[in-house]
Structure 1
């Protein structure tokens, strides 16, 4: 795609305030199917590692539920926060058309729900890392995207009921002992 067409194409699939107010279902589905063209490699790696692991552990239906809940709820709440910021004069009115696409909210939710795949006490170190990775950017210079990522991670953590009965938690200590033979 030419850069101009790509920008137009992605803008119509963005979960920004303008598109959400006109085509909410279409953009909530379509925005998750695209990524910013310059940043695809990290998503491929993270998708391969985290999504494949979560889908294998949770099963396809539960994994999709986590993805959908994290993507949809984080998109709606973060855009609502942006709308409030616009109405209060904190953000410019042009922000209603901000480009907001990608699978990152779904990915954040899946990364967080994997907390329950890890045995205690290792789970707490992983949880701390998840909260730092998604919380620090919001603390340093808040944007609606940073808010969305933290919300998506919290939504993933709230998906705990979907993890019940999914087998024994992974224990890194047992894996290291097995590797040592």
Structure 2
């Protein structure tokens, strides 16, 4: 049997090992048996507690560095921008048909203002749902006429689309929304141009009226105005219906032309689309007390 050399490394006469250094320091200096002298460096005194340095968790990022959290716990600029972008994305995705239509209208408006006046008139006539074009290219002009406006007015239609077409699509869904818009646009076109054909035949309108400009998105919008009647709860529904009916009758009374006849017809057809709304959740809407103005746009669908 052999014994360890007392003068070897780690022995009493050799260099002090970890345990010897601890005993030399005395109690309370890095051992769990006494107060920890490193308490002032991030650890608290006490038996059996760790002696390492710890960093405080969840320290807010100073304001102005673009981090996720600013001073006082407020979101930083990047996070605020990300939230705004996400909210805009959700808003656009909730009414894809409306915003695709609006984007096409915006591009076409840009092209329209760059046409010469003479070419613009020729272009609009050949893309209008007038009697001449309907008799030769009915499908083409019924689609194309809903993608252009006679005058560049994109900002006006941007507001109108968000007021009426966006709520309609969010409520009904894209397919039912498209059905309402198509019924109103096609039906109002046929009624108004039918009236033009009758008046030309009766001699009350000149023959050149067959080539008039009849183009725009207003028939589809008027259909959405009409169908939104069934989105509202009673009695607000009847107030809305009365006000909208009075508006379209006033338009027709002030200018009894085929365009305003088409607007009135499209509105009536929109109201008549009540069966399309059957079984769709989110109807019977009424404003809640204290609700923000945009709360009408936050409903199921």
TM-score, L = length of structure 1: 0.93
Deviations 1:15-66 (A, max 9, x none): 0111101111100000000012243332221112211110000000000000
> Which runs of 5 or more structure 1 residues have no equivalent in the other structure?
none
1:176 counterpart = 2:280: no
**Counterpart for residue 59 of structure 2:** none
Choose from 140, 143, 162 the match for 1:26.
140
Whole-angstrom CA distance in 2 between matches of 1:178 and 1:48: 19
Match of 2:181, SS? helix
1:102 is matched with which residue: 216, 219, 223?
A: 216
Q: Which residue of 2 aligns with 1:76?
A: 190
Name the residue aligned to 1:56: 170
Residue 238 of structure 2 is matched in structure 1 by: 124
When you count helix as a share of all residues, which structure comes out higher?
Answer: 1
**Structure whose CA Rg is larger:** 2
> 1:178 and 1:48, CA in 2 relative to 1: closer, same or farther beyond 3 A?
closer
Residue 125 (structure 2) pairs with residue 11 (structure 1)? yes
SS at the partner of 2:180? helix
Cα distance in 1 for partners of 2:205, 2:158 equals 32
In structure 2, how many angstroms separate the alpha carbons of the residues matched to 1:36 and 1:45?
18
Change beyond 3 A, Cα 1:128–1:13: same
Deviation at 1:80, TM superposition (A): 0.5
Per-residue Cα deviation, 1:147-166 (whole angstroms, up to 9, x for no partner): 00000001001100111122
Whole-angstrom distance in 2 between the partners of 1:11 and 1:82:
16
**In structure 2, distance between residues paired with 1:89 and 1:40:** 37
Question: Which residue of structure 2 lines up, in the alignment, with residue 42 of structure 1?
Answer: 156
Q: Take 1:31 and 1:166, find their aligned partners in 2: how far apart are those partners? A: 30
Q: TM-score when scaled to structure 2? A: 0.57
- Give unmatched runs, 5+ long, in structure 2: 1-114, 293-301
Equivalents in 2 of 1:25, 1:125: separation in Å? Answer: 37
- Distance, in Å, in 1 between the alignment partners of 2:155 and 2:126 is 23
Deviation for aligned residue 1:177 = 4.4
